[in-house]
Amino acid sequence: MSGRKVVVTGLGVVSPIASELGAFWEGIKAGKSGIGQVQNVENIEQYPVTIAGEVKDLEVERFVDRKDARKMDPFSIYGVAASTLAIEDAGINSDNIDPERVGVLASSGIGGMQVMQNECMKAYEKGPRRVSPQLIPQMITNILSGYVSIKFGFKGPNFCITSACASGTHSIGEAMRMIKYGDADVMIAGGSEASVAMLGIAGFAALRATSRRNDDPEGASRPFDLNRDGFVMSEGAGMVVLESEEHAKARGAKIYCYASGYGRTGDAYHVTAPAEEAIQSSRGMSLAISDAGLSPDDIDYVNAHGTSTHYNDKGETLACKRALGEKKAYATAISSTKSMTGHMLGAAGGIEAAIMALAIRDNIAPPTINYTTPDPECDLDYVPNKMREMQINAALSNSLGFGGHNATLCFTK
C-alpha cells in the first residue's frame, strides 16, 4: 500500500490502573494490577464472579457537564474523557487544524449496556411510559463518536466499528487508512467500554469465560500460565490521535511513533471460540507486517491479545509461531498487559495501542504478571513478571473478537 505516512501524536487512557497517562504507564511498567472486588454492582455476592477492573477516581466533570453526564452511559463518559486527554496530549486546538479534515472513529464492543439494563428494569417495574427518551441515543455504540465530534467540532469522517474485543484495534487501523488515502489529516480513534454491570458480569459468567478466582483478584488474570481459568472483565477507554506525518510536523507536534501497518481477517469458524489452527489470526499479523513494509525478523515486541483463557492463549502462541516463524517467535518478547488491566473488551485495542506506542518510545517491554507455572502449549517468551528494557523498533498489537474478528496493528520507531 502506498500513501502518506501516519504518526501517533496523542494518547489518552481511562483505566482501572490510572486515568492519567504518566501514572498509567508507571503502573504498567511496575506490574501493577487494577483488578479488585466489584464495588459498583448491587448484591455482587450473589454472582459466581465478583471481581473486575473498575475505573476509579475519574474526575467526570472535567470532561463532561454534570447535567449531560446524568443521561450518558459510562462508556460514553469514559470515551469522551480518553479522547479529551489524547487531544490535549497531542496539542490539537482550533488554531492548528482544519475541523473538516479531522475525524473520529471511536468504538465500543457492547455500547450502552448500563443504560439499557436500567431502562429495561424500569419498564418491567414501572411500565413502558417510564422509559427514558434517552434510551436509544445513549445505548447505541456510535453515540461516542458523535459526542467527541460535537464537543470539539470535528467534521471529518465520523462513525464507529463494533467487532467485539477487536473494536478498538479495527478503529485505529481503519483510521490509519483514511489518513493514508487522504480522507483526513487527523483522526481520533480507539475504543471504550463500561460493561462491569449486572448484565455484563452475569452474561460472561454464564459463558464460563471469566475467572472465578474471586479470593485473589490481583492474581486472577494470568495469561499463558498453566493455571489460567478465564479472563477478568474490565472497563475504561483508550484513544489515540493519528496524523499524517506532514501535518504533524507542520504544526510542530511531538511524535510517539509511526502507525505503519494494519491487518484484519476473519476465522469463519465459531461464534465464541478462536480457530484452533490460528491460521487467520496469524495471517492478520502477517498482513500488518507486510503493510508496514517489514519482515517478521524486524518485529521486536508483540502486545498479545492474551486474555487468560485456555483457547485464546494456546491459539495465539501458535499464531505468533506461524506469523513470525518458529525460530523468530522464540526470540521475540511477547506480553499480555491484560494481566494488569483486565480485559477491557472493545476498549482493549485502544489501551494496548497506547501501551505499544509508549513501549516503542521508551524501549520497554511491559511484563505479563502472574506468570508462575509455564504451560507446555504456551512456550514463548512472555516477559514474565518484570518489565524488560530492550530496543524496540517495531511492535505488533493483536486483538481477537467473538465472531472470529482478528485485527493487528504494527507501530514502528
Q: Which residues are catalytic?
A: 165, 305, 343
The answer to whether the CB of 23 falls within 8 A of the CB of 61 is no
Residue with cell 518489565: 387
Residue with cell 508507571: 26
Write a three-state SS string for 23-51: HHHHHHHHCCCCCEECCCCCCHHHCCCCE
373 HSE (CA, 13 A, CB side): 6
The contacts of residue 47 (CB under 8 Å, 6+ apart) are 41, 201, 202, 205
Q: How far apart are CA 15 and CA 160, in angstroms?
A: 21
Radius of gyration from C-alpha coordinates of the chain: 20
**DSSP letters for 86-108:** HHHHHT--TTS--GGGEEEEEE-
Nearest to 410, CA basis, from 191, 244, 193, 264: 264
Nearest to 350, CA basis, from 211, 148, 96: 148
- How many other C-beta atoms are found inside a 10 Å radius of the C-beta of residue 337? 27
The answer to whether the CB of 11 falls within 8 A of the CB of 19 is no
